[in-house]
Amino acid sequence: MSNSRAVTSTGENQPKTTPFIKDFLALIKIGIVNSNLVTTFTGMWLAFQVTDGHLLQRIDLILCTLLGAGLIIGGSAAMNNYIDQDIDPIMKRTKSRPTVTGRFTQRDVLAISLSFLIVGEILLFSATPSAGMWGLIGILAYVVLYSLWSKRKFVSNTIVGSISGAIPPLIGWSAIDPSLSFEAVALFLIMFAWQPPHFYALAMKRTEEYRAANIPMLPVVKGFKRTKLSMLFWILLLLPLPFLLDELGTGFLILATLLNAGWLLLAVQGFNTKDDIKWANKMFIYSLNHMTILFVSIIIFSVFI
């Protein structure tokens, strides 16, 4: 199928057809897949350093784990699209999803999702049974606890959803060290605390869309001031967590503290802002950079353990 703009015999331009690959990547939420693979790899890498493992001798295990994790994350995201087909047309952010435009039928989406989940779990269990089990827990947390149960019923849905988002580092770690040491738990806690302020910022930007879709996000139910207080709480909770990884050294602790302090300062500024949506966008962008820089720094500083 051509990606160029079609022209009718009268010369009128027709809407541009979205490339199939773009729709497919949107179906599996490739952005979420990529960000979660960063945290999965960080868990694996740190486990290698702590256990004195040799990275180059386990390339097959690394590829198996990353591919398996990517498949279950993409499969879970596709299942979320399948579940949310009734509300996605209401929201501007989601109305162009391929499940809404009709590029993929319900049967197609279900088949893709289940195929990804099954193959992904086979790969993770091939890595270690522990990695496979954490993969299953992540799937259940996202698809069942979040998408099917809490998302449309409870204002705490974001916190429930944070469970699944914090599991990828555990998948990566358990592929190398099934015992899950203290450092693995620290990665889980950091990711768990990072997610609420990140997603609350997004929810503030899309409050009216969530309201129209009848999704009880915190800013919809409690308002912006309450949401800002919650964001401040979670960032304060995040502030000491990098110190659980103090073996990474003083340089890491200083960098992590500066990142958290910058986010905290931005959160405090939100109580005096005149433009809540502009501020929420700044918080959202900062959170993305925060997570990327923090986890890349974990990889770098762990080399010197």
Domain boundaries along the sequence of the chain: 20-302
Which residues, at least 6 apart from 293, have a Cβ–Cβ distance to it below 8 Å?
255, 259
- What is the model's pLDDT at position 56? 78
Instruction: Look at residue 13 and give its three-state secondary structure.
Output: strand
Judged on CB neighbours under 10 Å (0-12, 13-18, 19+), 127 is buried
- What is the model's pLDDT at position 256? 98
Token pair in block for residue 127: 């890595």
- What is the model's pLDDT at position 231? 98
User: Binning pLDDT at 50, 70 and 90, where does residue 55 land?
Assistant: confident
Average pLDDT, the chain: 93
User: Binning pLDDT at 50, 70 and 90, where does residue 264 land?
Assistant: very high
Query: CA–CA separation, 64 vs 49, rounded Å?
Result: 19
Half-sphere exposure of 234 (CA within 13 A, CB side): 22
Q: Which of 40-44, 84-88, 278-282 has the lowest mean pLDDT?
A: 84-88
Question: Is a pLDDT exceeding 90 seen at residue 302?
Answer: yes
Question: Is a pLDDT exceeding 50 seen at residue 138?
Answer: yes
Give tens-digit pLDDT for 67-101.
999 999 999 999 999 999 999 999 888 888 999 99
Give tens-digit pLDDT for 218-243.
999 999 999 999 999 999 999 999 99
CA dihedral 146, 235, 293, 37 (to 10 degrees): -10
- What is the model's pLDDT at position 147? 97
- What is the model's pLDDT at position 107? 96
User: Binning pLDDT at 50, 70 and 90, where does residue 127 land?
Assistant: very high
7 vs 35 pLDDT, higher one? 35
Class of domain 20-302: mainly alpha
Average pLDDT over residues 169-184: 94
Question: Is a pLDDT exceeding 80 seen at residue 205?
Answer: yes
Judged on CB neighbours under 10 Å (0-12, 13-18, 19+), 25 is middle
pTM, 2 dp: 0.92
